[in-house]
Homo-oligomer: A and B are copies of this chain.
Amino acid sequence: MSKGKWVTMKDVADLAQVGTITVSRVLRTPEKVTEAKRKRVQKAIRELGYVPDNTAGALSSSKSRVFGAIVSTINDSVFAQTLDSLSSTLRAAGYELLLTSTNYDPDVEEDALRALLARRPDGIVLTSTSHSAEVAKLLQSVNIPVVEIWQLPPAPLDIAVGFSNFQAACDMAHHLISKGRRNIAFLGGHEPRNERGRRRREGYAAALNQAGMGPAMWPNEDQDLRSGIELGSAFFEECLKEDPQLDAVMCVSDQVAVGVLCEARRRGVEVPGDIAVSGFGGFEISSPSGFDLTTIAIPGYDIGVASAKALLDPETARANKIIDVGYRLVERGTA
A contact set with B: CB distance below 8 Å: 1, 3-4, 6, 49, 51-56, 58-59, 64, 66, 73-77, 80-81, 83-84, 87-88, 91, 94, 96-101, 103, 111-112, 114-120, 137-138, 141-143, 228-230, 232-234, 255, 258-259, 262-263, 284-285, 287, 289-291
A75 touches B64 (CB 8 A): no
**A232 vs B233: C-alpha distance when bound (angstroms):** 24
Which of B75, B91, B112, B289 is close to A263, meaning CB atoms less than 8 Å apart? B289
Measured CA separation A55–B263 after assembly (Å) = 52
Residues of B within 8 A of A99 (CB): 83, 87, 97-99
Query: Which residues of chain B are near A229, meaning CB under 8 Å?
Result: 284-285, 287, 289-290
With both beta carbons as reference points, the residue of chain B lying nearest to A83 in the complex is identified as B74
Integer count of this chain's copies in the complex = 2
Task: Name the contact of A262 in the complex, choosing from B91, B120, B291 (C-beta under 8 A).
Answer: B291
Q: Nearest B residue to A284 by beta-carbon distance?
A: B229
Please name the residue on chain B nearest to A62 by beta carbon.
Answer: B6
Greatest chain B CB density within 10 A among A100, A138, A291 is at A100
Q: Flag if B96 contacts A97 (CB, 8 Å).
A: no
Contacting A259 at CB < 8 Å: which of B3, B230, B289? B289
Residues of the B chain whose Cβ atoms lie less than 8 Å from the Cβ of A285:
229, 258, 285
Q: B114 touching A101 by the CB < 8 A rule?
A: no
Indicate which residue in B87, B100, B118, B228 contacts A52 across the interface (CB closer than 8 Å).
B118
B-side contacts of A118, CB under 8 Å: 51-54
Measured between C-beta atoms, what is the minimum distance from A109 to chain B in Å? 12
User: Can you sample 11 A-B contacts with CB below 8 Å?
Assistant: A3-B141, A3-B142, A59-B59, A73-B84, A74-B87, A83-B99, A84-B103, A96-B98, A96-B100, A234-B289, A262-B289
- Which residues of chain B have C-beta atoms less than 8 A from A120's C-beta? 6, 53-55
Residue of B nearest to A137 (CB): B49
Contact A233 B119, beta carbon cutoff 8 Å? no
Residues of B within 8 A of A115 (CB): 91, 94, 96
Report A145 CB to chain B, min CB distance, Å.
12
B75 pairs with A81, CB closer than 8 A: yes
Contacting pair A4 B143 (CB below 8 A): yes
Residues of B within 8 A of A117 (CB): 51
**In the complex, chain B residues whose CB is within 8 Å of the CB of A98:** 66, 96-99
Enumerate chain B residues within 8 angstroms of A137, measured Cβ to Cβ.
Answer: 49
CA distance A83 to B87 in the complex (A): 15
* Complex Cα–Cα for A309 and B263 (A): 40
Q: With CB as the reference atom, state the residue of chain B lying closest to A54.
A: B118
